A and B are shown apart, each in its own frame.
Chain A
Amino acid sequence: MQPATLLAKVWDEHLVRSHPEEPDLLYVDLHLVHEVTSPQAFDSLRVGGRTVRRPELTLATIDHGVPTTDRHLGITDPLSKIQIDALVRNCADFGVTLFGLDDPRSGIVHVIGPEQGLTQPGLLITCGDSHTSTHGAFGALAFGIGTSEVEHVLATQTLPLHRPQSMAISIDGELPAGVTAKDVILGIIARIGTDGGIGRVIEYRGSTVEALSMEGRMTVCNMSIEAGARAGMIAPDDTTFAYLEGRPYAPRGIEWERALDAWRRLPTDSGAQFEHELAMAAADFEPYVSWGTNPGQTVPITGKAPDPLTGDDPSEREAIARALKYMDLEPGTPITEIRLDRVFLGSCTNARIEDLRAAAAIVAGRKVAPTVGAMVVPGSGLVKLQAESEGLDLIFKDAGFEWRDAGCSMCLAMNPDVLAPGERCASTSNRNFEGRQGQGGRTHLVSPVMAAAAAIAGHFVDVRNWS
């Protein structure tokens, strides 16, 4: 056998059919569905007289449009209500399991898949959401798809795909204190750009990555799409298996043993070739803060908003100037002098229990700055319950944070959680695009500990100096 990459092994195991002049036809093990990108797909199935081929390999939840307060009042936004009702009806009509709003297992689709043990090594996972790359943390091949592809997976449980290129990003060494998985991926994107991964699947490797918890690995893989990559993957290991064992949908008994045997064969063989390689050192990473309007426009906390004159060419200079104008920042502004109106701790990037624990440790016994409105939105109903059982909710509430119900919330503001025009927010989410958190809102991407410290201080601070 030729030495093979993790990507090649997972890809080849899912080949239903391959033909030299056509895309490969790949089998989808798990299809996650939410309310925003699925209604048109289900409608087309109806029109075409088609069914969902494998409803038992399909899980639906409601996350993008849900309010995070006063759930008992139901969905008050009329359009969101129509959209959510449509998903409930579609799941009933087509026999798809739905974790509905009153189910404690509901939450952000990329939090609940792993939490339930549905996300497993070696699977091919799709969802009509670009942050499906999250699930690659388990050694699955997982990527976002559009609504036409959602319909295709529902109808056939397969997708026709061209084989992407492989890219290894190796990081070695111990991360400095205060530098988190979020900083690892922000640092990678700052290095390779928001288009550095186009057409590629990134495998994150090296001792730094191996030392990350599953939560940290999910944070890294989650933002692979922000580097333009088709997917991110991390080889499964004992950390992965320990996370999975005993979860509701993880294999049990003899099936667990069989699965382990197969999963242990997944990591990239020594001698396997990647089409692209990049090596980075953990010691070079710092806590990062995005200053601009895409996730590549990021500097270390010790840095400054850039001067447009530093751009490589006229279009780069214009892009920097546009971003600074939108963000209302002067060139050369030290990041630590940027004052905040809001702090958002949440999203599929950073709303898992470990994220909340880390942020709570920063805020314990302190108060949110009087000029800042801060909120915590757990990634799922179960994360919320876990945090409450550990008393984290009290720590946040005592500090002046709002403690909310699970959902996508202000990551994309398709629900009542929205920035007002001109408001500036430190956010643990994944996108700082113009208007992402509300029309005219200004987003700075940071790690949970950096967001927590900024909430207390009222401006960005270097969490490495937090005492």
Chain B
Amino acid sequence: MSPVDIIVGTMAPLPRANVDTDQIMPKQFLKRIERTGYGEFLFWDWRQADPDFVTNRSEYRGASILVTGANFGSGSSREHAPWGLADWGFRAVVAPSFADIFRNNCYKIGLLPVELSEKEIAWLIELAESDPSAEVTIDLDVQTVSTEGFEARFEIDGYTKWRLLNGLDDIGLTMRHAEAISEYEASRATYRPALS
């Protein structure tokens, strides 16, 4: 995973709540066994149905920050959804709230989910709609989203922030505790199930 640091970029506005992962990455693309190349399938059905859908519009093509509604990423656990967002070019998603599994999946691949208030989101969406070239800076280290005339602070747990800033792989970190895992295994109850 590449380190996440200061993200400077333009925004794509998607003012809808409850955007589920079936919309972000429809199931027909989940048959692929690769981890890359999902960007072209992002929001596939919505892009087919609506020529003016945000990711069809040239003025938003270079956007690296998706600003959207509450409960973003609800539904299926498919990591293909954040893979598609990252592959398209998004480096952060800003929303009032995120579904738990989606948020975890983003953290694993270095796509930054940023939670701001409904009011702050509404302000950013209005800016993105009126001026697609408006640049926003997301500084993970100081936990702020800022642009001219606007600054908002967001929360993230210290451990995840440290891991993202340093681009560290979770498995490597966990394996530092291999001894603790072995000790735990030695003490597990004998009635727990096992396949032969």
Chain A residues proximal to chain B, CB less than 8 Å: 16-17, 21-23, 25, 27, 29-30, 36-37, 39-40, 43-44, 48, 50, 53-59, 64-65, 77, 79-80, 82-83, 86, 97, 117-118, 120, 123, 128-130, 143-149, 151-152, 155-158, 160, 162, 164, 194-195, 198-199, 225-226, 228, 230, 249-251, 255-256, 258-259, 262, 294, 296, 315, 319, 322, 412-414, 431, 433-436, 439
| Chain B residues with CB below 8 A from A195, complex form | 18, 70-71, 74, 97, 99
B23 interface residue per 8 A CB criterion: yes
Complex CA gap A412/B76 in Å reads: 10
Selected interface stretch from B129-137, B142-150, B168-176 = B168-176
Residues of chain B within 8 A of A199, CB atoms compared: 100
Asked if B32 is at the interface of the complex by the 8 Å CB criterion, the answer is yes
Bound Cα distance from A25 to B17, whole angstroms: 33
Could you say which of A40, A123, A151 has the most chain B C-beta atoms within 10 Å of its C-beta?
A: A40
Q: Return the chain B residue nearest A129 by Cβ.
A: B77
Once A156-B175, A319-B17 are accepted as A-B contacts, the answer to whether A83 and B26 lie under 8 Å apart by CB is no
In the bound complex, do residue B35 and residue A146 qualify as a contact, i.e. CB atoms below 8 Å apart? Answer: no
Chain A residues near B104: list those with CB within 8 A.
145-146, 149
Q: Which residue of B lies closest to A60 (CB)?
A: B195
Contact of A25 with B174 in the complex, beta carbons under 8 Å: yes
Partner of B191, one of A27, A160, A259: A259
Chain B: residues with Cβ within 8 Å of the partner, total of 59
Closest to B184 in A: A16
Distance of A148 Cα from B171 Cα, bound (Å): 9
Which residues from chain B sit less than 8 Å from chain A, CB to CB?
A: 15-18, 20, 22-23, 26-28, 30-35, 45, 69-71, 74-79, 82, 97-101, 104-105, 108-109, 157-159, 170-171, 173-175, 177-178, 180-181, 184-185, 188-196
Q: Kindly state the separation between the CA atoms of A213 and B141 in the bound complex, as whole angstroms.
A: 50
- A contact residues around B79 at 8 Å (CB): 37, 40, 146-148
Contact in complex: B45, A439 (CB < 8 Å): yes
B108 touches A258 (CB 8 A): no
Distance in Å: Cβ of B1 to nearest Cβ of chain A: 9
| B71 & A198 in contact (Cβ 8 Å cutoff) | yes
Query: Which B residues touch A25, using CB under 8 A?
Result: 174, 177, 180-181
The answer on a CB contact under 8 Å between A146 and B180 is no
A412 to B193, Cβ gap below 8 A? no
The 3 A-B pairs at the shortest CB distance, nearest first, are namely A148-B108, A146-B105, A146-B79
Determine whether the beta carbon of A255 is less than 8 Å from that of B190.
yes
Complex Cα spacing A296 to B70, Å:
14
Measured CB to CB, the closest approach of chain B to A20, in angstroms, equals 10
Please, which residue of chain B has its CB at the minimum distance from the CB of A431? B75
Q: How far is the CA of A218 from the CA of B20 in the complex (A)?
A: 23
Partner of B100, one of A148, A230, A433: A230
* A156 adjacent to B17 (CB under 8 Å): no
Choice from A16, A21, A147, A228 contacting B177 with Cβ under 8 Å: A16
Instruction: Give every chain A residue within 8 A of B188 (Cβ-Cβ).
Output: 27, 29
CA gap between A29 and B34 in the complex, in Å:
28
Residues of A within 8 A of B174 (CB): 25, 152, 156, 158, 160
Minimum CB–CB distance from B172 to chain A (whole Å) comes to 9
B177 touches A128 (CB 8 A): no
